[in-house]
């Protein structure tokens, strides 16, 4: 038993300075528009829902990062916009002691995963206050989005490398 504890302590020795902590979550920006106005309530609408999601990361100091998740929901009836919501949900996170790859994973997966439920709640509240039916926004797999972004970045780098080799 003592031998197992010693091995575990040695394995975790390098990780003692790894820290991740949520410092603050806040709503940075919010916009709600109903371009159709009252017409949206006077006719039967067959909504088509579009969702766009992006993340911006800003390093505030050596260990603190602001992560802003932008969520845009557009609800259309045919080609007309019924309503549009833009939410910029932000958080300040303390992250230290991680390797570059781990840091990228935390900032692009864990932080947005933390912010998304708050943004989804803001969207639901605004939609209901606009007297529209509640939206049930689906969960987002930030791991898959990050993996896809990494694969696209690698493919682009490989393409640029092969183009530069061809040019020589």
pLDDT tens digits along 103-125: 999 999 999 999 999 999 999 99
Instruction: Determine, yes or no, domain membership for 2.
Output: no
Considering the entire predicted model, what is its pTM? 0.80
Domain of residue 23 covers 17-155
Instruction: Determine, yes or no, domain membership for 55.
Output: yes
Q: How many domains, the chain?
A: 1
Instruction: Determine, yes or no, domain membership for 45.
Output: yes
- Cα–Cα separations (whole angstroms), residue 93 to 68, 77, 81, 160, 162: 11, 39, 36, 34, 38
Instruction: Determine, yes or no, domain membership for 4.
Output: no
The pLDDT value recorded for residue 11 is 42
Instruction: Determine, yes or no, domain membership for 30.
Output: yes
Collapse the DSSP code of 62 into the 3-class scheme (helix H, G, I; strand E, B; otherwise coil) and give the result. Answer: coil
Measured CA to CA, the distance from residue 14 to residue 9 in angstroms comes to: 9
Instruction: Determine, yes or no, domain membership for 141.
Output: yes
pLDDT confidence bin for 83, thresholds 50/70/90:
very high
Tell me the sheet residues that pair with 48: 76
Measured CA to CA, the distance from residue 119 to residue 68 in angstroms comes to: 11
Per-residue pLDDT averaged across 14-24, rounded?
A: 81
Measured CA to CA, the distance from residue 39 to residue 125 in angstroms comes to: 21
Per-residue pLDDT averaged across 151-164, rounded?
A: 81
Name the average pLDDT for the chain.
Answer: 88
Instruction: Determine, yes or no, domain membership for 39.
Output: yes
**pLDDT of 158 strictly over 50:** yes
The pLDDT value recorded for residue 159 is 79
Task: Identify which has the larger pLDDT, 167 or 23.
Answer: 23
Measured CA to CA, the distance from residue 37 to residue 87 in angstroms comes to: 20
- Give the CATH number, domain containing residue 135: 3.10.420.10
Tokens standing for 124?
């639901």
Instruction: Determine, yes or no, domain membership for 90.
Output: yes
Spatial contact of 84 and 37, defined as CB atoms under 8 Å apart: no
Spatial contact of 60 and 66, defined as CB atoms under 8 Å apart: yes
Spatial contact of 94 and 20, defined as CB atoms under 8 Å apart: yes
């Amino acid at each position: 038993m003592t031998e197992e504890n010693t091995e575990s302590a040695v394995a975790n020795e390098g990780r003692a300075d790894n820290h991740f902590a949520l410092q603050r979550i806040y709503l940075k920006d919010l916009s709600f528009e109903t371009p159709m106005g009252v017409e949206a309530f006077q006719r039967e609408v067959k909504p088509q829902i579009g969702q766009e999601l992006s993340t911006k990361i800003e390093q505030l100091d050596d260990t603190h990062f602001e992560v802003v998740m932008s969520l845009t929901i557009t609800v259309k009836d045919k080609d007309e916009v019924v309503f549009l919501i833009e939410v910029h949900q932000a958080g300040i996170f303390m992250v230290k002691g991680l390797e570059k790859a781990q840091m990228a994973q935390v900032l692009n997966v864990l932080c947005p995963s933390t912010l998304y439920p708050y943004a989804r709640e803001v969207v639901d509240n605004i939609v209901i206050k606009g007297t529209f039916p509640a939206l049930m926004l689906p969960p987002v797999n930030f791991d898959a989005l990050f993996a896809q972004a990494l694969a696209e970045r690698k493919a682009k780098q490989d393409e640029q490398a092969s183009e530069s080799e061809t040019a020589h």
